[in-house]
Amino acid sequence: MITAKKFYMIRHGESIANRDGYFSGNMDVELTDLGKEQAQQAITPVEALQPKPVQIIHSHLERARHTAEIINHNLQLPMYETSLLGEHHLGDWHGEPWDIIRPRFFSGENPPGGETHNEFAVRIRDGINWALEKDGPVLIVCHGGVFRGFYRLYNAECDIIENCVLYEFTPDNSTPDFPWKVKAMDH
């Protein structure tokens, strides 16, 4: 499934869509001022990592790209962009209010005119594996849906992923159904 290699992953800072409560999916939306502050605050835990990331891979969407740029300000690591790690393409649900669409989306209904949950998970698999082909460990800056897609590959439940919380993913064969140890790193 996913290459058994240590990596780090972080969701972008708060976006306008997060703040305003609508599905942005694969649409480009900006970070809010709070989102920019969250990315600034993520610098400290990223710089404290051991081993440190040697490259940053980020989604092609502005909110992830801007978060990656802020986090990388001091590190000055090579950065690579890919649409494979973009958020779920939500088709007709783009721009719809969370409170209306969320129950349908999280019950497993596929967005009309968008990617199915399984198509999205396969794209995420390909994107993470592409990132892990590079020298590592890498830091992936992406979206909450990328985390959900990762977990879906293993038929595992994913908790809510907060904006700009850093996670360490370490291969762990002691749990064959989900062969990863996932640890939220302290802020």
CA–CA dist 32, 62 (Å, integer): 12
CATH superfamily ID and name for 7-184: Phosphoglycerate mutase-like (3.40.50.1240)
Q: In angstroms, how far is the first alpha carbon of the chain from the final one? A: 30
pLDDT at 1: 86
H/E stretch holding 18 reads: helix 16-20
SS3 66: helix
Q: Which of 87, 88, 96, 115 is catalytic?
A: 87
CA–CA dist 88, 26 (Å, integer): 6
Side-chain half-sphere CA neighbours of 6 within 13 A: 11
Torsion of CA 132, 158, 170, 53, to 10 degrees: 50
pLDDT confidence tier of residue 89, bands split at 50, 70 and 90: very high
Q: Which of 12, 58, 66, 88 is catalytic?
A: 12
Q: For 127-137, what is each residue's pLDDT tens digit?
A: 999 999 999 99
CA–CA dist 21, 15 (Å, integer): 10
Other CB atoms within 10 A of residue 187 CB: 11
Q: Is 12 a catalytic residue?
A: yes
Q: For 42-61, what is each residue's pLDDT tens digit?
A: 999 999 999 999 999 999 99
Residue ranges of the domains in the chain?
Answer: 7-184
Residues 32-42 have a mean pLDDT of 97
| Interstrand relation of 7-11 and 55-59 (parallel, antiparallel or unpaired) | unpaired
pLDDT confidence tier of residue 160, bands split at 50, 70 and 90: confident
